[in-house]
Structure 1
Amino acid sequence: MANTGTWFLELPEFKMFSDRKGTIAWITGMPGSGKSVLAAIAIEYLEKHNIASKDLGIAFAFIRYTESRTLRDILSSLIAQLVEGSYMACSLIHSFYSQSIAKEGAELLESDMIEGLEKIAGALGVVHIVIDGLDEANDQVKDSLLEVLVTSKTNLLILSRPLDLYIHHTPDALFVSIQAQTADIELYVTDQVKRSSRLNAVLQGRPELVKELSTRIKEKANGMFLLAKLQMELIMSSCNSINSLFKALDKLPYGIDEMYRATLDRIAAQPEEDVSIAHRTFVRLVYEFSPWNADTRPMSAEDLRHYLAVSFENQTFDKGDLVPIPLILSTCCGLVIAEEGDQGFPEIRFIHYTTKEFMKNIQFSNIPVEPSPFLAVISMIYLDPHLEPLLALESRPPEELDQYFYANPFLYHAQRSWGFHARMSQRQGLLPRYTHWFLSKNQRYPFIKSSYSPVTSLFGLHLAAIHGLVDVITENTALPCEPIGPEGYTPFHYAAMEGRPDTFRALVLIHQGAELTTAGGQTFMHLAVKHRREGFVRELLLWLENLSPEEVQRHLQSFDINAQDSEKMTPLMLAVSEGWTPGIASLLATRRDIQVNMVDKDGVSAFMLACGCKTSDFAEVLISSFPELDFDRRCNHGRTALMRAARGGNVQVAKLLLSRNPAIVNDVDSAGWTALLHAAYLAIPDQREDILRLLLEHGADQGAKPTAGAVQLTAFLYTANWPWIQRNRRDHEGTARVPLLELYLSFQPESIHQRDHKGRTALMLAIREGGDPPTLSLLLNRSAVAINAQDAEGLTAFLHAFRLLSKINLAEIVETDYPPEAVAFIRSRRKRSDISQSCLRYRRCHALVRDLLLVPSLDASKHDNMGRMALEWACLSAGSHLLGREGFDQYRELYLKEGDMQRQFESTVGFFFATLHRIANHEGTRWNRHAFHRAAVVACSTLADPILARFLQEGWVRQAFEWTVDENCAVVLLVQASGRKCRVAIGVILEYLGLLGSGWDTRWFGSSGVDVAKMFCDLDCSWHTEILSF
């Protein structure tokens, strides 16, 4: 409503949140006091006033208890909003994702998102984040979200009920209570009077009566905007005169529950059909949860209309019974609202979460049965005519299924929730007979596990097992029980996967002799373990213990607890390999007939799998339960239990194994890997240092390196090699790796001289992949470091700095499956990211050169095996992408159109020339003119025309030449520039040679470079042929 909330924007606390970086404002209020409205007003204000600011970010989250959101869900939403609103944020996240995640083929983890948010907050001027409904998140999310946002240095606005238990996270927050704020209620009452013809007529335009009405409503509402709204709804429908109006005001309840009861009484006074509509709407909203709450879609307006058009009594759905949404909302008397959702269509919900809590205790007399059987039957009635069409979509693209759901709005919820409501009915002893008929009427039924799952064709008994409908199983013994689908699952398998032991036992008693092994060799116990059904495993093992061998044979045929699936995995192996909790493994270990030393297809035993888990719990269970445990087994790849413990960072297990036999520390597998290498390459980041220290203390060989594979580095060299290390992602400066390098050197200082198979040292490897400052500082401060050492290609650590620029990829994107406008957008977004990434790379290269040139013993004039020195490498690397002709032409349009991109490009150019200037003017290096000539020739053969023109005007370049037509090198520059048609650079060279305005025919510069060279002199070009070939 217009003008409400303006007082909030004038609060000093809000102004500080809006204007001062790092401010946290926490707004508290009782339920229904209008906090969500204020959050929306704040967001609108921020967006309106910051729309032209490119260094500001705005993001928000409305947390609702009906939506089970994790910390990762909330962070991903916040980051997505910031990325959409800022090119800088987009480029930062793209670069971060590419470097830290894409190489592993994984999605962003929670820790990645925390780091990403910190990066954006640090790069942008101010980031405003609004969190509404923090009190509706679960306790763990409250703690974690506050910890992350407070440390991210963003401007944070929180709106919630009072949360005294959590304010220790924000000791510097500005707290504001809105309980006493009644200005908005007064505005609301005045607005409703203007809108209501009835109130206008009753109050006769008398301002004193309007003032009195407003005052009385404010007193009754006690600061609760929600309560004021319901009170106005009540009196607007009942008053006919001034006296009746104020009598109604006197009778208005004070509390929210009393107001809800009064509203329900008002609903009950409506015509019977209206009461039925309202009550059925309430029942649906209160009991709408499905078995997979996190996958439940919001209820749309059309969904509700179709639901209400299903007749429980006639067991039919008729589109002629569809009720318009305004009428539905009217019958609910303000307790239900429709508001636009994330998908762009109206979503139906209670006016407030307290409404739902209140309704849970209400008995709706207009509903013919209890809510669970009512909703189960309604869902099955709606689903029934769609069974065959859904089965026809079994092998169709998922888009067609979505389209079918869209055309039948209630169908998604009906097919997902009928079984849940049927099971709830069964628990109450009220399973409708309709359920038996429904599951026995057809041969096949469609089943859709989740939003992203395809349609699966199942028998009725399979569905009964999935939903735990024991009554259906026991009364409908003729339902088919055979395997179905490519996996060959029977109802027994579905009961195990869903964790329903009572259903499984019912199936066993009725369908004796049924197939209990899938096509992949999995038993029901395999599937129960794989799906983490600890309760199922416990009850089934207890049940089996109470059966005689004959009964087990009769019920379960040849049940074998050690059965192996197609991967040769036993249930025990699955229990320890999945690594969730040791509960299931402990249960299985109690079986006396467990064969613990069996191996899978790779020769790995259950104990070896347990050694690779994050904790020692699994291994301890096996050690304590099985005296015959084989500690010394090797798998088919020659790996030992210690190696698997090292890979998993399992220090406790590694200690136990080394205490038994210290000599195993340097055992190697078939690829030459030792436990130390496994720990360095693959151990969990948070546990890597501890496991490495343990192995080094036991004499692990630091010189060992793999004998096979693409990466053949020692543990020390691998740790220095940035892109391969699985470091702590929150530590984007690389400080997590420094303690590891120090650890290696503390045990063996001479590791600083180690080289890989290409002759590269740790310093070279660290530099070529970015050279983060902490790592460089550590390596350069070691007096033994060979700063001028050369690898097999003749490259020094200094020359490797320019390889950093060679790793920028400006690949063209072709999306043939998208429309042209989408392709244009994707290309544009990718180009912006490329420019930003290039700018960051050039900045880092410049910093590397600066730091390395400060090392007194550095020889910057060293050249590689092809004679290339630092200046040539710098020009060659720059010319291969953004500053080369191809890259410059590809991105020129963005430079001209967008100021932000132009500034980033100018920054890139600036870093490039600053780097060249530092090298050329290095006090510790005596350059000769020949080195500058070679660099100039490379620049003329690679750089874009404008960049080359500026290069030629650098003082050290200009002073390196005599600039006469008799100077061979100067002529070569002209040849190179003319051959590439660099018009600006040609003009600069001709100016230097004194040929501009001389009448000399420059059209010759369209000829081949050799012909032009011969016009000047008989020039021997062999000395630079190698350079020109790049």
Structure 2
Amino acid sequence: MPGAGKTVIASLVIEHLQEISKHNQSVCVAFAYCRYTERIPITTILAALLRQILERYPSVLPFVQALYERHNLEQTQPDQGDLITVLLEIATSGLFSSSFFVLDGLDEASVDVQFDLIETLESLPIRFLLTSRPLDLLKDQVPGAVFFNIAASDADIAVLVEEKIDRIPTLRRLLRQNGNLKGEVVAKIMEKSSGMFLLASLQMELLQASGCPSIKALRDCLDRLPAGINATYEATMGRIERNAHADLVKLALTWVVCASRPLLVDEVRLGIAVDPHTYEFDVERLVDQEFLVSSCCGLIIVERGLSETVRLVHFTARDYLQSYLADHWSCNPHSIIASVCTVRLLQYKFHDFPGQPVEETIYKLCAKDQMLRYAYENWAKHARQCSPFPKDVLAFVRQCQRYPIDGELGGDMHVAVAHDVEEYLAPLNSGVHEQVVGKSSNKTLAINASTENGTTPLMLAIKDSHYIMANVLLSATGIDVHTRDTTGKTALIMAVGKGQVDIVRRLLSFGHTEANPKTEADHTAMSVGDGQSALLLAAYHGYEDILRLLCKAPGLDVNATDDSSETTLTKVLNMVRAWRPTPRPFQVLLDVPGIDANAGAEATLSLAAKLKIKWGVEALLACPNIDVNKEGPDNYTALEWAAYHGDLQTLEVLLNHPRIDVNGGKYGALTLAAQQGHLDVVTTLLRVRSIDVNKANLDGHTALTKASAGRRSSIDAFERPTTPLPYEWPAQGHFAVVETLLGTEGIDVNAGKSSKRGTALIHAAREGRSVVVDALLLADKIDVNATDSEGRTAFQWARDRGYQEVVDLLRALGI
């Protein structure tokens, strides 16, 4: 039942549950209020519930953290499925013995939100309370729920009526004359209100307005009180119509009913302080708050607090007033608001904007007039709800020469496109670039006009996803689709970045459209760096359909490099590491005729192995002309990277390629695997017949010397820690790798003589690896007196560094 106090009851239930939870943290409580004034989507409601739970119960952080980190990295927002998954994980985690969700005003949400909310709550193992007017879908979706009706009791209504009586002096005087009269008033109001606080309150307003000079007049007035909610609204509006300022009050109600967001009381006051014919703001027409509220006869209330928001007494009043006001005004009520907004903007020179920087100037102007911000942000929303489109609003658009749009200043075409005013572009559909607006003369539409930043109307239409506007512009004679803005972006790059397949197709149909244009300096909005191509953006976002379109474009250079000499293939691989782990865009590119998997400064195959992208390695190895031994700018081959990472699966895939050089590269796969202590990789490489177990790298190191030292190193920029590695590895080094190498046929235990670092024995002694030293000393032909480039022996290194156990082992041989 509307106006029966459901919200009050819901609030009391929430307070009670929160008190329980305060003393028992195993009880989870979350709640949400739906309001007709703010039609928020289900994702916002679910996110609010999740945030409440996180703030009140920090133990749920691990469930939320992974979701946050993923979307923070991708710069996206969680969808409904993401939020439901986390809520379900929390509800089934065992953290809470009971979970209670309360949702008030379900009937005030949009129909699709109603359905989704019930479905979501029903899917969670929780107890939930919903308050709502009767809805057919409730019993269908939650057949096992317990339903109960809420209606104000006679005692509740009596308390309300008595409180109201105490505030009406004329009524109090009459009641003093007759002791039974108060009971009659209470009884009649209870009868007429049908258990609704809302009706009882409005009927008391009507009773107060009647002025009742006598007991007889009071009784007559009680008999005339309307029964039912619509009849009460009708009687209230009749009272307003008899007011000398009826049009002013109805304008105030129009603002409250039609506003695109809840308004502050001062915004309403400023919105109605206008000339009724020109809509120009006149400060002398300002009314005070008390007059505004009292003149609306109980239909609006002001929520006290910092904001002082105005709202209707009940959401059912909105339904009634929308119909009433539409019949009252000679035009669409939204047309009036749009006109008030645009006139306000003209008064403050927004059409020929007065200053820079734009946002700072807007802030200063809006500080002078609270209604100005609303006018700036919402004039077009109201105008678009009118049919036909208001002529004076079209006239406003026509006057715009330097209007603020997203921090820059645009002309009339920019304003029309940015605000989706399709009617302003109507002449383009007929091929005539002229627009007659109101009584103004003809004006040529500048379809290729650009802002100071080089933004054209077409770019704006694409940026704001105004597809109809974009298609109208693309059909216009003389449209220039090749223009770049000051950051180097073209309409094509913008359309690709937004995933607009049909717009991309149309842009490519113009011919001579550069399929891989690059942006220049600032491209951070795309989050992919400088010098990016449309091709790369499509791959970055995973837009396969757009990728295929671009790959068929005449003149496409699929092997083109960016400012860093990287190809689209290498860029995609780098982005996979940072963002999207999917092989599809990469495979689409590899299927393009003429693709060169070896192009660019960075070897694509080496990069895939470096980033540990196994599917990338496999896809590249399937290319007939792939150079499997090509080094990247870091001088590592794919096989070397796989060995370094200990990525056995990738290593085995590479070893199966017929052209792989197991000893290729400047560092050697075997040496890197031994250095990192990857025994399984070392063992696999040693099975290859052509392996050179004594291959030395650029510094003269072999696999045995690196394993004997037992020190890993970090050569991968992606893995390098922010502070230097401590090198505190197991005391005996990579002993298992050393043993394996010593047991390999052909191993040279003295390799590295006179090199910078020396032999394996010198490495082990220098690091104090006594077990390794002991194993090396058992090897045939070990040269215990070998020296490094400094002329120092293993014994000298151990002695000088104080490794007594190693010293003793060497002395036992008579050294």
TM, length-normalised to structure 1: 0.50
Aligned partner of 1:564 in structure 2 is: 517
Aligned partner of 1:134 in structure 2 is: 106
Aligned partner of 2:382 in structure 1 is: 421
- Report deviation, 1:245: 4.4
Asked if structure 2 preserves the Cα contact closer than 8 Å seen for 1:76 and 1:113, the reply is no
Describe the superposition over 1:488-527 as per-residue Cα deviations: whole angstroms up to 9, x where unpaired: 2122321332325446645974766697322333322332
Q: Name the % identity.
A: 24
Correspondences of 1:701-716 after superposition (within 5 Å): none
Correspondences of 1:608-687 after superposition (within 5 Å): 628=593, 637-639=602-604, 670=632
- Report deviation, 1:276: 1.5
Q: Could you tell me how far apart the structure 1 residues matched to 2:33 and 2:370 are?
A: 25
SS, match of residue 32 in structure 1: coil
Aligned partner of 1:351 in structure 2 is: 313
Using the TM superposition, name which of 191-200 and 597-606 deviates more. Answer: 597-606
Asked if structure 2 preserves the Cα contact closer than 8 Å seen for 1:55 and 1:126, the reply is yes
Residue 324 (structure 1) aligned with residue 288 (structure 2): yes
Q: Which has the higher helix share?
A: 1
Q: Could you tell me how far apart the structure 2 residues matched to 1:461 and 1:415 are?
A: 17
- Report deviation, 1:378: 0.7
Aligned partner of 1:40 in structure 2 is: 11
Correspondences of 1:65-80 after superposition (within 5 Å): 65-71=36-42, 73-78=44-49
Amino acid paired to 2:251 = R
Q: Could you tell me how far apart the structure 2 residues matched to 1:649 and 1:199 are?
A: 85
Aligned partner of 1:792 in structure 2 is: 729
Asked if structure 2 preserves the Cα contact closer than 8 Å seen for 1:373 and 1:421, the reply is yes
Cα distance change of structure 1 residues 318 and 663 upon mapping to structure 2, 3 Å threshold: same
Correspondences of 1:883-894 after superposition (within 5 Å): none
Amino acid paired to 1:267 = I
Cα distance change of structure 1 residues 641 and 178 upon mapping to structure 2, 3 Å threshold: farther
Q: Could you tell me how far apart the structure 1 residues matched to 2:140 and 2:637 are?
A: 52
Aligned partner of 2:462 in structure 1 is: 496
Q: Could you tell me how far apart the structure 2 residues matched to 1:31 and 1:716 are?
A: 73
- Report deviation, 1:63: 2.1
Residue 463 (structure 1) aligned with residue 426 (structure 2): no
Cα distance change of structure 1 residues 401 and 175 upon mapping to structure 2, 3 Å threshold: same
Q: Could you tell me how far apart the structure 2 residues matched to 1:561 and 1:170 are?
A: 56
Cα distance change of structure 1 residues 512 and 382 upon mapping to structure 2, 3 Å threshold: same
Residue 256 (structure 1) aligned with residue 215 (structure 2): no
Correspondences of 1:353-752 after superposition (within 5 Å): 353-364=315-326, 367=329, 369-387=331-349, 394-395=356-357, 402=363, 404-425=365-386, 428-432=388-392, 435-436=394-395, 439-440=398-399, 443-447=401-405, 449=406, 455-469=407-421, 472=424, 474-475=434-435, 476-477=443-444, 482-486=449-453, 488-498=454-464, 499-502=466-469, 505=472, 509=476, 516-533=483-500, 540=506, 560=513, 562-566=515-519, 571=534, 574-575=537-538, 577-579=540-542, 588=549, 593=554, 595=556, 597=558, 601=562, 602-604=566-568, 628=593, 637-639=602-604, 670=632
Aligned partner of 1:944 in structure 2 is: none
Cα distance change of structure 1 residues 669 and 164 upon mapping to structure 2, 3 Å threshold: farther
Amino acid paired to 1:490 = T
Aligned partner of 1:160 in structure 2 is: 132
- Report deviation, 1:237: 1.9
Q: Could you tell me how far apart the structure 1 residues matched to 2:104 and 2:542 are?
A: 36
- Report deviation, 1:41: 3.6
Cα distance change of structure 1 residues 123 and 483 upon mapping to structure 2, 3 Å threshold: same
Q: Could you tell me how far apart the structure 1 residues matched to 2:768 and 2:184 are?
A: 93
Asked if structure 2 preserves the Cα contact closer than 8 Å seen for 1:522 and 1:565, the reply is yes
Cα distance change of structure 1 residues 367 and 629 upon mapping to structure 2, 3 Å threshold: farther
Cα distance change of structure 1 residues 104 and 196 upon mapping to structure 2, 3 Å threshold: closer
- Report deviation, 1:176: 3.4
Aligned partner of 1:905 in structure 2 is: none
Asked if structure 2 preserves the Cα contact closer than 8 Å seen for 1:604 and 1:635, the reply is no
SS, match of residue 263 in structure 2: coil
SS, match of residue 301 in structure 2: strand
Describe the superposition over 1:538-558 as per-residue Cα deviations: whole angstroms up to 9, x where unpaired: 7x56xx97xxxxxx6xxxxx7
Cα distance change of structure 1 residues 354 and 439 upon mapping to structure 2, 3 Å threshold: same
SS, match of residue 256 in structure 2: helix
Amino acid paired to 2:390 = L
Cα distance change of structure 1 residues 125 and 505 upon mapping to structure 2, 3 Å threshold: closer
- Report deviation, 1:321: 1.2
Q: Could you tell me how far apart the structure 2 residues matched to 1:667 and 1:170 are?
A: 64
Cα distance change of structure 1 residues 281 and 627 upon mapping to structure 2, 3 Å threshold: same
Amino acid paired to 1:445 = Y
Asked if structure 1 preserves the Cα contact closer than 8 Å seen for 2:501 and 2:545, the reply is yes
Cα distance change of structure 1 residues 217 and 536 upon mapping to structure 2, 3 Å threshold: farther
Aligned partner of 1:194 in structure 2 is: 166
- Report deviation, 1:67: 2.4
Amino acid paired to 1:261 = E
Aligned partner of 1:234 in structure 2 is: 206
Amino acid paired to 1:263 = T
Using CA pairs below 8 Å that are at least 6 residues apart, which structure has the higher relative contact order? Answer: 1
Cα distance change of structure 1 residues 386 and 648 upon mapping to structure 2, 3 Å threshold: farther
Describe the superposition over 1:841-876 as per-residue Cα deviations: whole angstroms up to 9, x where unpaired: xxxxxxxxxxxxxxxxxxxxxxxx999xxxxxxxxx
SS, match of residue 349 in structure 1: strand
SS, match of residue 417 in structure 2: helix
Q: Could you tell me how far apart the structure 1 residues matched to 2:282 and 2:680 are?
A: 73
Q: How large is the Cα RMSD of the aligned pairs?
A: 5.9
How many residues align? The count is 645
- Report deviation, 1:334: 2.0
Q: Could you tell me how far apart the structure 2 residues matched to 1:198 and 1:302 are?
A: 31
- Report deviation, 1:631: 9.8
- Report deviation, 1:470: 5.4
Correspondences of 1:33-182 after superposition (within 5 Å): 33-43=4-14, 60-71=31-42, 73-78=44-49, 89=57, 92=59, 106=73, 111=82, 130-137=102-109, 156-162=128-134, 165=137, 175-179=147-151, 181-182=153-154
SS, match of residue 309 in structure 2: strand
Amino acid paired to 2:317 = T
Q: Could you tell me how far apart the structure 2 residues matched to 1:155 and 1:526 are?
A: 49
Aligned partner of 1:265 in structure 2 is: 238
Cα distance change of structure 1 residues 503 and 78 upon mapping to structure 2, 3 Å threshold: closer
Aligned partner of 2:271 in structure 1 is: 307
Describe the superposition over 1:10-33 as per-residue Cα deviations: whole angstroms up to 9, x where unpaired: xxxxxxxxxxxxxxxxxxxx3332
Q: Could you tell me how far apart the structure 2 residues matched to 1:514 and 1:662 are?
A: 38
Cα distance change of structure 1 residues 175 and 560 upon mapping to structure 2, 3 Å threshold: same
Runs of 5+ unmatched residues, structure 1: 1-29, 290-296, 450-454, 546-551, 553-557, 683-691, 718-753, 761-789, 797-864, 868-1022, 1024-1030
SS, match of residue 171 in structure 2: helix
Higher radius of gyration, 1 or 2: 2
Asked if structure 1 preserves the Cα contact closer than 8 Å seen for 2:33 and 2:103, the reply is yes
- Report deviation, 1:414: 0.6
Residue 276 (structure 1) aligned with residue 247 (structure 2): yes
SS, match of residue 317 in structure 1: coil
